[in-house]
Structure 1
């Protein structure tokens, strides 16, 4: 079963295929299936650190002592549960200290004792009310968001099952439906005829990387950095951040160790799997393939045992995108794209948004997983942050994965796998991995199936890398993050099955070839017209469907003098109608609209000019079965 809670839900999939360098594939191992546990909301909010950004020009902004005084003041004013004593006693009990300055200009304040639940909320409220404070957020933990806990089953891989297809990776055809299936895949093979992402840097903020995995090409993995600043989480000897991003393992020895109700679990090797989706070596007669296999991956370790801290993730976003983080050497290979297959409960906080805005201002696209709680993604971060591409998960059928978060903040979807409901291998996304249960010396390099929006997100990041690489090859400027988001949403392939109106997961499934084709079109300079489906007078177009946020464009050639009407009707969901005359450019200015609730919309032009009118039908919510009629 797939759990409905969005924290610490890690699934390896049904079969884990063992690989040793030079020895090829071996029979899969036996493993036992176990179900993930829910994380109590109060535990999600427990914190021994608070991140405070002080207002520029305030006394607290320039003095560590004043920063601590502001926090002590909030602790003394808050009405905390239990007998917490006098203000001086509270100061001694919590003993706030400035731990370090973050890249966004906020400060991490460490507390000697943890705050949780209502007590944490009260202290944060007092801090936010202080005139010296711009924002204050808990240094909450974030988690990798694949869709379950480790699970394996018996499987046999036939070593002579090499398909006569390009690429020649022996397990591409059998396992990697997510790249090649016409129904649920991303149309990668057709895109590879155009480009493979060469010269593009994609940062993977995750559990780190296994750099010796044989299915990463030489030079594909950049040195990276380990941003985890807590030795217990990182499993390094000290709290210091260090060069490199080696995945030390994120196994948990005991139940209830991460939070009440958490279970012991094996290491996930999550970051290596995600990096494999983006840039695993392809057409090298070994293993499997990656989306943008000539791109470079910048591994940035932010997740370890029991997840990772918001303060470390925010600094990693800043550093990966080329910003400055005190105490960390400058990043000499700033990322064009950041992928974050991680998340946690609650809506976007100011720190996350601050870090993301900084990355986008430096030209870095930020792609994030929507989350795996089968809930509205507006209540999860970073999916609910602005200036990100939030990615939902689809199945091999092209339908919504049961665990995928949904809602208007989800921009588009990528293959995430349906888990056991779609069997093996079709229920999982397959990429590089490891079969060791603890440390990176406890097993052998392997290929793993995993399911989750964690797996969907790197498909979108990889397609973005294909686009930027192809534009560079064509001596064209790269797209801005906003332009890339628009391109990927508009070129997404329509879902082959109906997505329920109440659980929208974006405009469609990311389509690598369609994105490349659109990006590489020669720009129109004169007599331009946007691509549109022509309407015939008094002949309805029926059965129109789309996701929330999607747009469909139609055109109608009108004569002068006689009124023209555009009407939508029928079906389910909620659409709006926008009409504008041809301006001779590829940009339409819509001068009339109808935006009533539901699908009954009417726009009437009483005195039309002769020429083309463009009609945009927009999904204010997911819709299906709608008809559009033009009458003159």
Structure 2
């Protein structure tokens, strides 16, 4: 789908909170905010009036109470271009509860304000959002449950893909896999778009000429002993690109084999690897072509990719031709996801892992620890499941589409493989989910920042000498952030190095602050101090901070709270200060270094 039509893609699903909020008390009523985001889809509420109250039995009295709540809501600063009204739809079957409906969809802040004002009526006992429920059924692909759940599910090593499917499945997004090409695997071919073979060396390609040709099909990458250098071993065809493409977009819920991370996305296979590998210059041209750029002698890609997966590399720092190609792709709007490499070395010594403007992915295994082979270093953005030696059996591998042929394609099969090559397509698939869920296309820089911000903590902290990024890929959290990115958040601006006085807050009230962090920043520091009361502080990137959704928190007793974020991505950071008890006289300071 072309970029100018991306704004037509919408999702009707609400953002699921990572955990339920605890009920709050207001005017003696219990307020359940746990599904408050659903008010942005269907602004219905469930209210229980106290036994014996007139509102419980008299519609006119109930409407007067609701009208008064709406007036207080508007007086609190919730302004609408058309008048907001709240009416009773019906009583529930039991319990004296009534279902109410607002005349317009509400933001989280608006819904919270309205609920508090409804609860201010002393005859109200309980207020909640009429939450949306959804089916929990997983796709019926047999290998999902038996082989893939460890790397797609919610276990220690899982990428939380199965829960993200409740929000998005990648519809309308194109992912280019620059690799060995793809076979016509029956559980993949339905999601393949026309690709191209970019190999210009007949020895490498096993084609008769050096011409680049349409198709992108993997015709085999085997080699005889000695063909790839003195003493080199015989190797069968790897079907590597087919495996990578399957992880991204294997056809799903068809009762066959396994599932893909973004099953409604489409894949453009681009062949750059053949016998003995591939040429950097061919890879560079393929990157430009995949993103929709012009390459002499090759027709323009009719399906420019929003995501490019590079599960390949070489033992060198990023060459200029590779960096130039990546820069071009990024300028065209493509997010470039790369594998960190499998040498148990610093990724800074490998390409394209050492290139700028990429999402660099290391590998973790079943238990969430770094795979022993995975490269590491300061250039790593985050980690994702790649399989490894921390367990044996099916849970030691990433399972995806493959072929039985040792040289040329023969028959379809599902195979387990291991490597950062397997970790990267998990991230590429999640980027497709993010783009399909976002209300408008996200830039590559924003995608990178959201992936880092949403990564979940490692179950076991990696060695400080071998860092592997911000955490493990969390598909569900990344999609949630993509869905809300760009939505207005009412906040007070902060200036780096300038001390601000926080207004007094009553228990339960909060204040949101914002600061813009430029590219290249190394550290973001926030400090609150002085005054009286008890505060809780949460930080988030391009999204409202919440107790269950944040990238930093400080909840010590008193007002002295500190949050420090290292290597923050460029963009806007929000800091929410919540008063646990009445607070006043507190000072705030933020620094960007």
Q: What range describes the TM-score normalised by the shorter chain of this pair?
A: 0.5 to 0.7
SS of the residue corresponding to residue 381 of structure 1 reads coil
SS of the residue corresponding to residue 314 of structure 2 reads strand
Give the alignment partner of residue 178 of structure 2, picking from 186, 200, 205. 205
On the 8 A contact 1:412/1:505 being kept in 2, the answer is yes
How far did residue 617 of structure 1 move?
Answer: 11
Residue matched to 1:613: 588
Cα distance change on mapping 1:252 and 1:540 into 2, 3 Å: farther
Residue matched to 2:373: 403
Give the alignment partner of residue 233 of structure 1, picking from 204, 227, 232. 204
Cα distance change on mapping 1:535 and 1:318 into 2, 3 Å: same
The yes-or-no answer on 1:469 pairing with 2:436 is yes
Cα distance change on mapping 1:526 and 1:431 into 2, 3 Å: same
Larger relative contact order, structure 1 or 2 (CA cutoff 8 Å, min sep 6):
1
SS of the residue corresponding to residue 142 of structure 2 reads coil
On the 8 A contact 1:534/1:555 being kept in 2, the answer is no
Cα distance change on mapping 1:484 and 1:557 into 2, 3 Å: farther
On the 8 A contact 2:526/2:562 being kept in 1, the answer is no
Please report the TM-score for the alignment, with normalisation by the length of structure 2: 0.63
How far did residue 553 of structure 1 move?
Answer: 4.7
The yes-or-no answer on 1:494 pairing with 2:457 is yes
Residue matched to 1:431: 400
Cα distance change on mapping 1:425 and 1:534 into 2, 3 Å: farther
On the 8 A contact 1:553/1:617 being kept in 2, the answer is no
| Cα deviation 1:256-300 (Å, max 9, x = unaligned) | 321234210111000000000000011111110000000000000
How far did residue 555 of structure 1 move?
Answer: 7.5
On the 8 A contact 2:454/2:551 being kept in 1, the answer is no
Residue matched to 2:552: 552
Aligned residues: 403
1:352-391 residue pairs with structure 2 within 5 A?
A: 352-391=322-361
1:436-475 residue pairs with structure 2 within 5 A?
A: 436-440=405-409, 443-471=410-438
Q: Distance in 2 between matches of 1:483 and 1:245?
A: 30
Q: Distance in 2 between matches of 1:347 and 1:273?
A: 27
SS of the residue corresponding to residue 282 of structure 1 reads coil
Cα distance change on mapping 1:586 and 1:394 into 2, 3 Å: closer
Q: Distance in 2 between matches of 1:617 and 1:553?
A: 17
How far did residue 552 of structure 1 move?
Answer: 3.0
Q: Distance in 2 between matches of 1:431 and 1:527?
A: 45
Residue matched to 2:146: 174
Cα distance change on mapping 1:534 and 1:291 into 2, 3 Å: farther
The yes-or-no answer on 1:196 pairing with 2:159 is no
How far did residue 526 of structure 1 move?
Answer: 2.0
Residue matched to 1:247: 218
SS of the residue corresponding to residue 520 of structure 1 reads helix
| Cα deviation 1:388-440 (Å, max 9, x = unaligned) | 00100000100000000000001101100014x52121111000101110011
SS of the residue corresponding to residue 178 of structure 2 reads strand
Please report the TM-score for the alignment, with normalisation by the length of structure 1: 0.59
Q: Distance in 1 between matches of 2:412 and 2:561?
A: 63
Cα distance change on mapping 1:577 and 1:513 into 2, 3 Å: closer
SS of the residue corresponding to residue 374 of structure 1 reads coil
Cα distance change on mapping 1:241 and 1:167 into 2, 3 Å: same
Residue matched to 2:443: 480
On the 8 A contact 2:527/2:561 being kept in 1, the answer is no
Residue matched to 2:193: 222
Residue matched to 2:491: 527
Instruction: Give structure 2 stretches of 5+ with no counterpart.
Output: 1-135, 493-511, 515-524, 537-549, 577-583
The yes-or-no answer on 1:298 pairing with 2:268 is yes
On the 8 A contact 2:344/2:375 being kept in 1, the answer is yes
1:245-324 residue pairs with structure 2 within 5 A?
A: 245-254=216-225, 256-324=226-294
Cα distance change on mapping 1:480 and 1:587 into 2, 3 Å: same
Q: Distance in 2 between matches of 1:229 and 1:551?
A: 46
Cα distance change on mapping 1:588 and 1:250 into 2, 3 Å: same
Q: Distance in 2 between matches of 1:305 and 1:487?
A: 37
Q: Distance in 1 between matches of 2:535 and 2:388?
A: 36
SS of the residue corresponding to residue 491 of structure 2 reads coil
Q: Distance in 1 between matches of 2:589 and 2:180?
A: 48
Give the alignment partner of residue 340 of structure 1, picking from 310, 320, 336. 310
| Cα deviation 1:71-100 (Å, max 9, x = unaligned) | xxxxxxxxxxxxxxxxxxxxxxxxxxxxxx
How far did residue 193 of structure 1 move?
Answer: 0.8
| Cα deviation 1:309-330 (Å, max 9, x = unaligned) | 0110010011111111110011
Q: Distance in 2 between matches of 1:359 and 1:249?
A: 27
Q: Distance in 1 between matches of 2:480 and 2:589?
A: 23
SS of the residue corresponding to residue 316 of structure 1 reads helix
Aligned alpha-carbon RMSD (Å) = 3.3
Residue matched to 1:4: none
SS of the residue corresponding to residue 425 of structure 2 reads helix
Instruction: Give structure 1 stretches of 5+ with no counterpart.
Output: 1-163, 542-549, 569-574, 579-584, 590-608, 619-632
| Cα deviation 1:155-184 (Å, max 9, x = unaligned) | xxxxxxxxx961110111110011114211
Q: Distance in 2 between matches of 1:311 and 1:524?
A: 44
How far did residue 610 of structure 1 move?
Answer: 3.5
SS of the residue corresponding to residue 334 of structure 1 reads coil
SS of the residue corresponding to residue 425 of structure 1 reads helix
